[in-house]
Amino acid sequence: MAIVQDKLSPDSAFALTNKAKRSDRFSGGIGMLRRLLVSDYFVLYLTLLFFLVASIFYPTLSNPASITNQIQNFWPLLAVAIGQTFVLIIGGIDLSVIAVMGITSVAGALVMAENLDPAFFDKSPVWGSLMTEAGGVLAGNPLAVPAAVLTMLLIGTFIGWLNGVAITRFNLAPFMVTLVTSTFFAALALWLTQSRNISGIPEAYVTLGKGDIVSIYLGAKLTPDIARRDILPFITYPFMIAAGLAVVAQFLLSRTVFGRRMFSIGTNRKAAEVSGVPTQSVIIRVYMFCGFCAAMASVLYSGRLEIGQPSFPNNLLLDIIGAAVIGGTSLFGGKGSIRGTFFGVAFFVLLLNILNAMRLSPFIIDAVKGAFILVAALLDIIRTRVANQEQRV
């Protein structure tokens, strides 16, 4: 007993992820490569390598302003990818996250917008009730922003609940259910806003999307006033929110009964059921969490863009699933981690920035992005094979 305990650090003991055995059996170059391949940090190394090489050719990439800008793109994507990771771990899929972001973004604006242009919105079904010229329901109210955020999160969670219930109680395929909710709520968001973005978002809310808590200034102080654009956001609200969400998610996943049950369902639902795992309620909650995360991402996006936005680009869904898969999450369930998704999102954001820096057309960028998804999927197959070989010995 004692010997066993000494060998285990508490950290490595129970992270239910794709555990690599840190053995010394493999030596030499191939051994190194194999170890690297199965490492949890593989994607991180890849991202860093990628960044270094790209920085040589495109020095602008590594200047601080560019880095902070990249980081700003990172947080909302991370938030929504976390929820998707949860769903993928239990062997499901949620195609409705983009629609959830749209409808919650609109709902938030309907609560707090400070003025609405009748020329745009008077055809909306809620004009005169939820929408007036004076703005949303709680326009001007000091509680408008918290109420809006709360509404958004509740709606996101509710749509997740709908998905979960349809999937478990009626035994429907997650793909079809979330396709239906996605179509429905995307259309609802467009209907409510007549396809217009809602502006007039209160300042306090915008802060959530891009406000700094700690800023930094690099360089010599030559003038008494530093231009705003030279001040770089360092710790921002989106950072706090998304990182907080990531910490909570990682905690749920690796430290709680709930997380263990998720993995058991994703690995073998029948065995989980026999072992007394309340599979239905776990699945419903996972979809609720996914909806919650999408709503959170919506808070960050719409705060940053200062609008209530009914539709988000559909391509975003591919970024989300792609990031999760690059981070080692399996579409078959039972495998995945928040850390992996974190690296996966970082990789994706970096990739996009590099491609932008290369001044490629946005369309070539898309093509390359798709190719990277394929390469990532292929790498994952190879990694799994190598990891299995290590297990077998």
Partner 1 sequence: MNSRMNIRQLLLNNSTIVLFIVVFIIFGIWSPLFYSPENITNIIKQAAFTGIVAVGMTFVLLTAGIDLSVGSNMYLSVVVSGLLMRSTGIDVLPALIISLIVGTLFGAFNAFCIVRLKIIPFMTTLGTLIIGRGIGTALTESKQIDFPEKMNDFGQTLFLGIIPMPIVVFALVMLAGYVLLTRTQFGRQIYAIGNDPEAARKAGIDVDRVMALVYILCGFFAGLAGFVLVSQLGGRVDRSFGEGREFDAIAAAVLGGTSLFGGVGNVFGTFVGALLIQMVQTGLQFNLVNLYLQPMVKAVVIFLAIFFDSLREASQKRLKRRFIRPVSASTAGGD
Partner 2 sequence: MTTPLLQINALSKAFFGISAVKSVTLAVHPGEILGLIGQNGAGKSTLMNLIGGVVPADSGEMLLKGKPYTPRTPADANKNGIAFIHQELNLFTNLSIAENIFIDAFPRTRWGMIDRVTIKNKTRDLLQAVGLEIAPETQIERISPGERQLVEIARALYQDAELIIFDEPTTSLTARETERLFAIMRQLKEQGKAIIYISHILNDILKLSDSLAVMRDGQLMAHEPTAAFDVNRMIALMVGRSIEQLYPPRSTPPSTELVLDIHGVSAAGIVENIHLQLHKGEVLGLFGLMGSGRTELARMIFGLDPFEVGDIRVEGVALNNLSPQSSIRNRIAFVTENRREEGLLMNIDIANNIGLVALPEFARTPLLVIDRRELLDNAQHMANTLQLKSGNIALQNAKALSGGNQQKVVIAKWLLSRPAIFIMDEPTRGIDVGAKYEIYAIINQLAAEGSGVLIISSELDELIGICDRILVMSRGEIYGQFGRNEFNEERILRAAFRETAAIPTGEKLPTLDEMAEGSAS
Largest CA distance in the chain: 75
**Segment near partner 2 (CB under 8 A); pick from 111-119, 206-214, 273-281, 338-346:** 273-281
What's the CA gap between 217 and 233, in Å, rounded? Answer: 9
**x/- site string to partner 2, residues 296 to 335, per CB under 8 A?**
--------------------------------------xx
Binding flag, residue 314, partner 1 (CB under 8 A) = yes
Cβ nearer to partner 1, comparing 22 with 385: 385
Between 247 and 381, CB nearer to partner 1: 381
State the Cα angle at 375 between 372 and 378, rounded to 5°: 150
The interface partner of residue 188, options being partner 2, partner 1, none and the CB cut-off 5 to 8 Å by kind, is partner 1
Smallest separation, CB 123 to partner 1 (Å): 9
Which window, 15-23, 31-39, 191-199, 227-235, contacts partner 1 (CB under 8 A)?
191-199
- Whether the CB-CB separation of 375 and 111 falls below 8 Å is answered with no
Q: In whole angstroms, give the CA distance from residue 252 to residue 255.
A: 6
Structure tokens that stand for 368 in this block: 């390359």
**Residue 179 touching partner 1 (CB under 8 A):** yes
Q: Which does 247 bind (CB under 5 to 8 A by kind): partner 2, partner 1, none?
A: none
| 389 touches partner 2 by CB under 8 A | no
CA pair distance 165, 174, nearest whole angstrom: 10
45 contact partners, CB below 8 Å, separation of at least 6 = 36, 39
Among residues 256, 314, 315, 389, the one that binds partner 2 under rule CB under 8 A? 256
Contacted entry of partner 1, partner 2, none for residue 210, CB cut-off 5 to 8 Å set by kind: none
- Binding at 173: pick from partner 1, partner 2, none (beta carbon under 5-8 Å per type): partner 1
Instruction: Select from 305, 254, 282 the least CA-distant residue to 76.
Output: 305
Ramachandran class of 365: left when φ > 0, alpha when ψ lies in -120 to 50, beta otherwise:
alpha
